Each structure stands twice: as structure tokens, then as C-alpha cells.
A and B are shown apart, each in its own frame.
Chain A
């Protein structure tokens, strides 16, 4: 059974770095891409970035300078790091396997 679960701090101070982990089961990271998608409260979906089965990455061009996505295949985990956080980064952050399976999401609030 495919499962994804996001974890990370619920509250981050402005200008600090966000670190999120997506722990997956039921599939291999070396055969599937994992994407991060975020959704500000009451708003639409925004693609953040992806790590592909071969380990290469792609990022939303608007976030690219602040963003890093990596993985540990031995632990079945994908990591998102975003620096210089601002209030507009407040959102639910989801990880998804190619859009087919999704985690429940983790709410991240950027506030002092």
C-alpha cells in the first residue's frame, strides 16, 4: 500500500529555514518521482518542486533560489529545505508520488 507522510515544524520564524521530510512506503524512490506542492490557506495549489527517480531535481522558478530538494533512498525519505521564509510561505505542504498518491499535508505557519 502506497503511503506518504509529511513531517516538520508547524511554526517557523520569518527569515529562517524550513525543513520538511516526506517519509514514503509501498514504492521505491528510485522508480518514482516525488513532488512537493503547497497550498496557502483558502487558496489554490502551487507546485514547489520535484526529485525524479534518477535523483535529479526541478524547482518552481519563483522559488528556485531558496529551495533544495534531496532524498535518502535507504530511509525512503525525501527532504525539502526552503530558506529566507516569509509570511507568504505560510501554507499546507504536501508531498505526492507523481500526483497519484498524496500525503495528508503539514501546515507550516511563518510568524514571529
Chain B
């Protein structure tokens, strides 16, 4: 099974900061890495699919990069509404694996 290691687990940043979250796969997953945002009490929301494609309606301050085993989610200028937990998801094989999550809070 493919394992996903996400870092950091917790992140505190100020409005306007550039924020990066990382995910590392235990083996090559090509480009098949998605990013989700989950706010308290809500279902996850797709932000980025296949490494760097912005999902419909998602603000352009969110972007994704990477390939193979190392991937990054970047928020270019943190906004108050971005406070949430973020998860990566690999779907290279028939089975999916989520990263452990990054809880993002405002400083």
C-alpha cells in the first residue's frame, strides 16, 4: 500500500503570509495527487486535482506543484477564511490514501 506523509501537522500563520504544505508518497504516484480543505463540521472540499489543476471556483491563491513522490500545496496570501485542515490524497492506484492532515490556524 502507498503511504502518504504530510507535513507539518500544525501551522500557524498571519493574514497575507505565503503558506506551504507538503506531502511525500512512499512510491511514485506520477501526478495523481489531490488537495482538500476541510472546515470544522463540514465535508472535505476539493481544491487541487492531479497535482496542479485548480478545481472550479477555487481562488487562484491556491496552487499545487510536484511530481513523483513530493508534492506541495501553496497558499500565496493567507486569508482568514483559509483557516481549516488540509489533506492530500493519492489516487495513483485503485486504492486511495490520504495524508495525515495539516491544521492551519491564524497567528
Contacts and interface: CB of A to CB of B under 8 A. Distances in A.
Interface of A: 35, 37, 44-47, 50, 58-61, 94, 96, 99-100, 102-105
B5 to A, nearest CB: 12
B94 A47 contact: no
Contacts of B98: 37, 44-47
Contacts of A99: 34, 36, 46, 49, 89, 91
A45 B44 contact: yes
Contact of B95 (A58, A94, A100): A58
A104 B42 CA distance: 7
Chain B residues touching A, range? 20 to 34
A47 B101 CA distance: 14
Interface of B: 1, 34, 36, 38, 43-46, 49, 55, 87, 89, 91, 94-101
A47 B49 contact: no
B101 A105 contact: no
Contacts of B91: 99
A35 B43 contact: no
A44 B95 contact: no
